[in-house]
């Protein structure tokens, strides 16, 4: 049955049966000290305030029968799926694949690549590992969404202007109707988060829609 989220730039109608919540990269490597985000010089404490809202969004999605997808930016242990340009970027003393406080940085199976404790995938959720910033690049996400009959995405996660925005733009170009859940996404740079929200909804929703979690909850209540 169609529900409606009061969103910017205008209402977002969606059917939960054809909607997925895509939670982008809520991994220890981005939210905790000693991970990839910290290695890049960021203040990682800026991301954790969204965790309770993300947990509410995931619980709401499961309760309403929506598909739940957690993406994970991580490379295989041989870094065979990591372009040399990505490994070299920033000239980090401890970068992708190197041993760090959370295990090998941004490598699948290491502690840092895992999800933060309050947002662990539950039975029935899908976990999608991705080598890039966008969740469609070099993954089976489009095929998965087609197979599940998904046409609409509610998107959260980190960071707003990197993996979240890239994924939302990739999805928009593939014909998915996307809504950014504004308080379920965060950046190390609050001004970048705010700018992304404006970029998404400008020009009649050139990339999609944006609304806070409370409006998603209201639509489903
Ligand atoms: N550095 C940064 O802001 N983000 C990333 O490297 N990956 C994600 O956004 N997941």
Return the ligand 1 atom nearest residue 24 CA. Answer: 10
pLDDT at residue 216 in the model: 99
CA-nearest of 122, 36, 33, 19 to 73 is 36
Best probe residue, ligand 1, of 29, 37, 156, 189 (max atoms within 8 Å of C-beta): 37
pLDDT at residue 151 in the model: 98
pLDDT at residue 149 in the model: 98
pLDDT at residue 75 in the model: 98
Residues near 20 by Cβ (< 8 Å), separated by ≥ 6? 61, 66, 67, 68, 69, 145, 148, 150, 152, 153, 154
pLDDT at residue 177 in the model: 99
pLDDT at residue 192 in the model: 98
Chain segment 56-77, per-residue pLDDT in tens: 999 999 999 999 999 999 999 9
For the chain, which residues score pLDDT lower than 70? none
Residues near 182 by Cβ (< 8 Å), separated by ≥ 6? 197, 210, 211, 212
- Nearest protein CA to atom 7 of ligand 1, as residue: 163
Q: Is any atom of ligand 1 closer than 6 Å to the C-beta of 25?
A: yes
pLDDT at residue 65 in the model: 97
């Amino acid at each position: 049955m169609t529900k409606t989220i009061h969103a910017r730039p205008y209402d977002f109608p969606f059917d939960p049966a054809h909607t997925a919540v895509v939670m982008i990269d809520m991994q220890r490597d981005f939210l905790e000290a000693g991970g990839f985000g910290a290695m890049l010089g960021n203040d990682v404490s800026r991301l954790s305030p969204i965790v309770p809202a993300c947990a509410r969004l995931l619980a709401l999605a499961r309760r309403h029968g929506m598909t739940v997808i957690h993406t994970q930016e991580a490379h295989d242990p041989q870094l065979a799926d990591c372009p040399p340009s990505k490994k070299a970027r920033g000239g980090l003393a401890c970068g992708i694949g190197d041993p760090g406080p959370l295990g090998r940085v941004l490598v699948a199976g290491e502690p840092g690549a895992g999800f933060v404790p309050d947002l662990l995938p539950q039975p029935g959720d899908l976990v999608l590992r991705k080598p890039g910033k966008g969740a469609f690049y070099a993954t089976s996400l489009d095929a998965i969404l087609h197979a599940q009959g998904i046409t609409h995405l509610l998107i959260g996660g980190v960071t707003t202007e990197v993996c979240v925005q890239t994924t939302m733009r990739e999805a928009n170009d593939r014909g998915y109707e996307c809504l950014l859940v504004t308080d379920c996404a965060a950046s190390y740079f609050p001004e970048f988060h705010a700018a992304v929200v404006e970029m998404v909804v400008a020009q009649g929703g050139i990339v999609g829609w944006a609304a806070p979690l409370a409006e998603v909850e209201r639509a489903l209540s």
